[in-house]
């Protein structure tokens, strides 16, 4: 929460929670960090948690649970069908979205699998403000193509636009006209646009997209995985939302969109996912997929304890004291980095801070994966694990040519309610060191390249010997300190 500090220079975000369970962290010496990142094939996904000081890989499934969530887990009603636990989830979804029907799934991409199977026919297109990795993989697997219509401002790294995730509405209309509505499987609005820096979509834009879909008879789908950050930004950046309650915003959206799905690894501070809709016929049309892919209709692949924690977490996603913590810590980190002169995506979004690696290592070309290289450098510098969100996270074209990312980003995710502000300051300090030593950073090349979702398990090696040089420079600058 943002409270006013008596001494202006003390102004920091203030947590509206206290820590009651802790986990010990390790900070390895730089020589071991160098070994660890090389053993991981320079892929931060392949690092071991034991070797990491700050895990900023993702905000997925790593958010701290509240006392109420862990307490709720003890109430879990274990039964294959008809459990009380599921009824509590239904009640929570009703409270948050105002919808009566839901289909549980084990995580967000499971919902995407089902939506793609049900609605995407070969040759069709799925229109979105921006793709998400797993969404695109499911749409293309079903023979569809993804079309991205984020407004131009969304791809400008430095901007003061409050809603960089917005659709270009004119382009949406003309694209639908161009393909014909029957060729459009659905239009998907991604709240808190993940891959372009956790940038929010305005309420006005989301509602306009739903209206356009309605006019053309096209299905509108809201990916609400990052909706809690997005709602925080609507409340703090969009005039029409200032005096609305969070609940009113969620309900207004759910009343307009045909389908909503979410990953509870994000929305709900837990694990799991669900599809919901105000339209019972739509839910019914998807029902058969749940027992096929997920599990029975009252658990959908989630264990009952997780369902209890999701239910409780969904109520917490209405609470501004809770949903402000992530965005405010991110804003703090972004400001520190910006003050140091580090190129970072602005304005600060949800999810995490995003380093603009094309500007950090301009001499490393897309074909040598600049964002992955900066990610390896930051791990060597501080035991901090970020996630590459650039060319390495793209998929090659069917003919094997590389698809270069529009933005070469290193994402430093901010798991919700997890880090202290001193850890955030440490992160900013080590990024600053990487920035000051950026001339030492070189490129990477594949040693093992999987054909799909290569960023998850592909391996790379340094081109030349820049990583040893970087580690030696660290030792020079930091003496025998870690």
Ligand X SMILES: *Cc1c(COP(=O)(O)O)cnc(C)c1O
Least distance from C-beta 223 to ligand X, angstroms? Answer: 5
Active site residue 80: yes
The pair of structure tokens assigned to 425 is 């300051």
CA distance 18 to 23: 14
Active-site choice (86, 130, 132, 289): 132
Residues 345, 402 contacting (CB under 8 angstroms): no
Active site residue 478: no
Of 300 and 442, which CB lies nearer to ligand X in the complex structure?
Answer: 300
Query: What would you measure as the largest C-alpha separation in the chain, in angstroms?
Result: 66
The pair of structure tokens assigned to 177 is 């006209």
Of 325 and 368, which CB lies nearer to ligand X in the complex structure?
Answer: 325
Residues 127, 147 contacting (CB under 8 angstroms): yes
Least distance from C-beta 53 to ligand X, angstroms? Answer: 24
Least distance from C-beta 330 to ligand X, angstroms? Answer: 15
Of 83 and 264, which CB lies nearer to ligand X in the complex structure?
Answer: 264
Of 112 and 316, which CB lies nearer to ligand X in the complex structure?
Answer: 112
Active-site choice (193, 455, 459, 474): 455
Q: What is the DSSP letter of 464?
A: S
Least distance from C-beta 34 to ligand X, angstroms? Answer: 30
Active-site choice (80, 160, 399, 480): 80
Least distance from C-beta 426 to ligand X, angstroms? Answer: 26
Question: Cα-flanking dihedrals φ and ψ of residue 384, to 5°?
Answer: -100, 130
Active-site choice (35, 70, 94, 133): 133
Least distance from C-beta 415 to ligand X, angstroms? Answer: 13
Specify the length of the chain in residues.
482
Give the helix/strand (H/E) hosting 90: helix 84-97
Q: Any idea which residue has 């990916």 for tokens?
A: 223
Least distance from C-beta 155 to ligand X, angstroms? Answer: 17
Which residues lie closer than 8 Å to 171 by C-beta, 6 or more apart?
149
Residues 116, 139 contacting (CB under 8 angstroms): yes
Of 225 and 325, which CB lies nearer to ligand X in the complex structure?
Answer: 225
Of 226 and 344, which CB lies nearer to ligand X in the complex structure?
Answer: 226
Alpha helices in 227-383 (DSSP H): 227-237, 246-256, 280-286, 289, 304-316, 320-323, 325-340, 357-360, 370-382
CA distance 276 to 379: 39
Of 48, 27, 26, 24, nearest to 36 by C-alpha is 48
The SS3 call for residue 387 is: strand
Q: Which residue number places its CB atom closest to ligand X?
A: 108
Of 411, 421, 417, 190, nearest to 323 by C-alpha is 417
Of 265 and 346, which CB lies nearer to ligand X in the complex structure?
Answer: 265
Active site residue 132: yes
Q: Any idea which residue has 């975000």 for tokens?
A: 13
The residues binding ligand X (CB under 6 A) are 60, 107-109, 132, 134, 190, 194, 223, 225-226, 263, 265-266, 273
Least distance from C-beta 192 to ligand X, angstroms? Answer: 7
Of 109 and 235, which CB lies nearer to ligand X in the complex structure?
Answer: 109
Residues 380, 347 contacting (CB under 8 angstroms): no
Q: What is the DSSP letter of 66?
A: P
Active-site choice (109, 266, 346, 454): 266
Indicate which residues carry an active-site annotation.
Answer: 80, 132-133, 223, 266, 389, 455
């Amino acid at each position: 929460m943002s409270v006013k500090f008596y001494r202006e220079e003390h102004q920091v975000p203030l947590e509206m929670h206290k820590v009651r369970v802790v986990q010990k962290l390790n900070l390895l010496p730089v020589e071991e960090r160098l070994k660890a990142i090389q053993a991981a094939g320079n892929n931060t996904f392949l690092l071991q948690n034991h070797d990491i000081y700050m895990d900023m890989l993702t905000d997925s499934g790593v958010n701290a649970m509240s006392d109420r969530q862990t307490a709720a887990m003890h109430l879990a009603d274990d039964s294959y069908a008809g459990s009380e636990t599921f009824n509590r989830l239904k009640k929570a979804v009703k409270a948050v979205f105002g919808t009566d029907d839901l289909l549980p799934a084990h995580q967000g991409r499971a919902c995407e699998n089902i939506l793609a199977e049900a609605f995407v026919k070969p040759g069709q297109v799925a229109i979105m403000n921006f793709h998400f990795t797993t969404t695109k993989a499911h749409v293309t697997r079903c023979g569809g193509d993804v079309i991205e219509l984020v407004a131009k401002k969304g791809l400008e790294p430095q901007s003061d636009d409050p809603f960089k995730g917005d659709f270009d509405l004119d382009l949406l209309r003309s694209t639908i006209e161009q393909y014909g509505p029957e060729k459009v499987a659905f239009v998907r609005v991604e709240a808190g646009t993940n891959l372009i820096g956790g940038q929010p979509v305005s309420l006005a834009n989301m509602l306009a997209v739903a209206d356009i879909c309605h006019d053309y008879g096209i299905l509108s789908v809201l990916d609400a995985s990052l909706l809690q950050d997005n709602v925080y930004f609507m409340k703090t950046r969009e005039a029409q939302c200032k005096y609305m309650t969070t609940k009113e915003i969620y309900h207004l959206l759910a009343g307009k969109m045909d389908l909503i799905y979410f990953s509870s690894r994000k929305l709900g501070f837990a694990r799991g996912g669900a599809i919901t809709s105000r339209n019972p016929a739509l839910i019914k049309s998807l029902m058969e997929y749940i027992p096929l892919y997920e599990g029975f209709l009252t658990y959908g692949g989630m264990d009952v304890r997780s369902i209890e924690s999701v239910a409780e977490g969904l109520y917490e996603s209405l609470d501004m004291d809770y949903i402000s913590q992530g965005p405010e810590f991110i804003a703090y980190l972004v400001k520190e980095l910006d003050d140091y002169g580090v190129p970072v995506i602005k304005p600060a979004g949800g999810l995490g801070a995003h380093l603009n690696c094309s500007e950090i290592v301009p001499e490393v070309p897309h074909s040598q994966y600049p964002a992955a290289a900066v990610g390896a450098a930051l791990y060597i510098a501080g035991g901090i694990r970020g996630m590459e969100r650039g060319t390495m996270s793209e998929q090659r074209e069917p003919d094997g040519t590389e698809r270069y990312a529009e933005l070469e980003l290193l994402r430093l995710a901010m798991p919700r309610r997890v880090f202290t502000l001193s850890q955030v300051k440490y992160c900013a300090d080590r990024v600053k060191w990487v920035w000051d030593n950026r001339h030492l950073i070189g490129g990477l090349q594949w040693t093992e390249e999987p054909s799909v979702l290569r960023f998850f398990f592909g391996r790379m090696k340094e081109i030349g010997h820049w990583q040893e040089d970087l580690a030696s420079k660290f030792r020079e600058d930091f003496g025998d300190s870690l």
